[in-house]
């Protein structure tokens, strides 16, 4: 039996939503242990978080630089195998670059970097390092998303003609950032978030889901972005028309000021033979409609699933699988790839988002912002 991989973490101290999500997801399949971390920009808070997580005190570091350098000095059978970066966007690139250049694999939250230039630079660094890089577009780990992708790849829907995607939230309907809420504060700050607000935070999820499920790239975009929150600079709402590389048409609607919405990510794909739809808030149902058959609803571990969906379903049919399980699939597939590399083996098609997905996300953000500045003119992604 292969040993567990050893994970270090940058950001995500105790009390952090996304840090806790990463730790829980990484542990679900019993393949990964958290062994060290630099959990905060404050050395004192970082060390305190490590202690609260029951880590060895000697491996609770004050900075990510200290963690990477100290871990590199440890024996190979003790040091961390990879770093998980769960910081705000502006702190993705520096630790990722340093970790890769010191021989560590990397898992990073999305969007991949603060700027497009950083994403392009990171792509080169990853290639030069020979190390693995995973981006946590977690919704691609859902079994029904895998089923949708497999059905389209196998031609069951025929030629894709139309796509509609949405990601609607309402949590920024008020000036939450003015109350001291940290999640809101950094997301509306261009110095920490980048040039996209809702666009970078949730728009990239919609973009990635479209390209992952259909296997097609968005070629052009016409974007109309909005800023409704008082005093905000970055977008908190937007609507986009899209053109796909095969000629299909579509639209994306995003918002963080859609009052009453919680986490309404959904996608509809229409082909010449059939269509499908999936919603993150009801993740265990994939609805399909057909030209010459009745409507069918697929569920995890249910009837008619492709192998791609079956192999990521962990529990019997009828038991709900959701956000954490989908997140865990990214970690599981990444860990499987790292273990194979450690054992001198290769995997033909490792299935998790990579730097290429991250670069596509940044190109999407920049194209949408450029289009919006030019009165929603069509802009190449």
Encode pLDDT of 68-100 as tens digits.
Answer: 999 999 999 999 999 999 999 999 999 999 999
In the predicted structure, residue 1 carries a pLDDT above the cut 80: no
Reference 17, options 172, 179, 140, 182; nearest CA is: 182
In the predicted structure, residue 66 carries a pLDDT above the cut 70: yes
Q: What is the mean pLDDT of the chain?
A: 96
Q: What is the per-residue pLDDT for 347?
A: 80
In the predicted structure, residue 358 carries a pLDDT above the cut 60: yes
Q: 152 preceded by cis ω (within 30°)?
A: no
In this prediction, residues 227-241 reach a mean pLDDT of 97
pLDDT tens across 191-201, in order? 999 999 999 99
Number of H helices, E strands in the chain: 13, 14
Cα separation, 116 vs 374, whole angstroms: 19
CATH code for residues 5-131: 3.40.50.720
What is the domain partition of the chain in residue ranges? 5-131, 154-314+363-380
What single-letter DSSP state applies at residue 4?
P
Q: What is the per-residue pLDDT for 86?
A: 98
Cβ-count burial 182-221 (b if 16+ within 10 Å, e if not): eebbbbbbeeebbbbbbbbbbbbbbbbbbbbbbebebbbb
Q: Do domains 5-131 and 154-314+363-380 have the same CATH topology?
A: no
Q: What is the per-residue pLDDT for 348?
A: 76
What single-letter DSSP state applies at residue 9?
E
Query: Residue 296 CB: number of other CB atoms within 10 A?
Result: 14
Percent of the chain, pLDDT > 70?
100
Cα separation, 137 vs 358, whole angstroms: 9
Q: What is the per-residue pLDDT for 2?
A: 78
In the predicted structure, residue 344 carries a pLDDT above the cut 60: yes
Q: What is the per-residue pLDDT for 356?
A: 97
Q: What is the per-residue pLDDT for 14?
A: 84
Longest dimension (CA), the chain: 65
Strands 237-244 and 218-226: antiparallel
Structural fold of domain 154-314+363-380: Dihydrodipicolinate Reductase; domain 2 (3.30.360)
Cα separation, 381 vs 372, whole angstroms: 13
In the predicted structure, residue 47 carries a pLDDT above the cut 80: yes
Confidence band (pLDDT; 50, 70, 90) for 134?
A: very high
pLDDT tens across 268-312, in order? 999 999 999 999 999 999 999 999 999 999 999 889 999 999 999
């Amino acid at each position: 039996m292969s040993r567990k991989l050893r994970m270090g973490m940058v950001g995500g101290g105790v009390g952090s939503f996304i840090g806790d999500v990463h730790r829980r997801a990484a542990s679900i399949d019993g393949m990964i242990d958290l062994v060290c971390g630099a959990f905060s920009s404050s050395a004192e808070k970082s060390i305190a978080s490590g202690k609260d997580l029951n880590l060895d005190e000697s491996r609770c570091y004050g900075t990510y630089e200290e963690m990477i350098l100290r871990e590199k000095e440890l024996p190979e059978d003790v040091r961390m195998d990879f770093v998980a970066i769960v910081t705000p966007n502006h702190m993705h690139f520096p630790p990722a670059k340093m970790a890769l250049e010191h021989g560590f694999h990397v898992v990073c939250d999305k969007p991949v970097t603060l700027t497009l230039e950083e994403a392009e630079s990171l792509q080169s660094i990853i290639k030069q390092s020979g190390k693995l890089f995973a981006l946590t577009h977690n919704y691609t780990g859902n079994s029904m998303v895998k089923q949708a992708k497999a059905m389209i790849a196998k031609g069951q829907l025929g030629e894709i003609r139309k796509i509609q995607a949405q990601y609607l939230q309402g949590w920024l309907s008020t000036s939450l950032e003015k109350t001291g809420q940290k999640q809101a504060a950094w997301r509306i700050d261009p110095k920490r978030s980048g040039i996209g607000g809702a666009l970078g935070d949730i728009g990239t999820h919609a973009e990635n889901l479209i390209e992952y499920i259909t296997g097609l790239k968005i070629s052009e975009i016409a974007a109309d972005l909005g800023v409704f929150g008082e005093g905000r600079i970055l977008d908190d709402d937007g609507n986009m028309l899209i053109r796909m590389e095969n000629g299909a048409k579509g639209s994306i609607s995003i918002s963080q000021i859609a009052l009453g919405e919680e986490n309404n990510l959904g996608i509809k794909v229409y082909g010449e033979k059939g269509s499908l739809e999936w919603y993150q808030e009801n993740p265990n149902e994939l609805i399909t409609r057909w030209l010459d058959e009745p409507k069918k609803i697929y569920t995890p571990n249910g009837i008619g699933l492709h192998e791609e969906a079956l192999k990521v379903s962990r529990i019997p049919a009828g038991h709900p699988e959701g956000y954490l399980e989908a997140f865990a699939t990214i970690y599981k597939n990444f860990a499987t790839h790292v273990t194979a590399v450690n054992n001198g083996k290769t995997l033909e098609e490792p299935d998790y988002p990579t730097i290429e997905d991250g670069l596509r996300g940044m190109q999407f953000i920049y194209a949408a912002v450029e289009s919006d500045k030019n009165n929603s003119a069509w802009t190449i992604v």
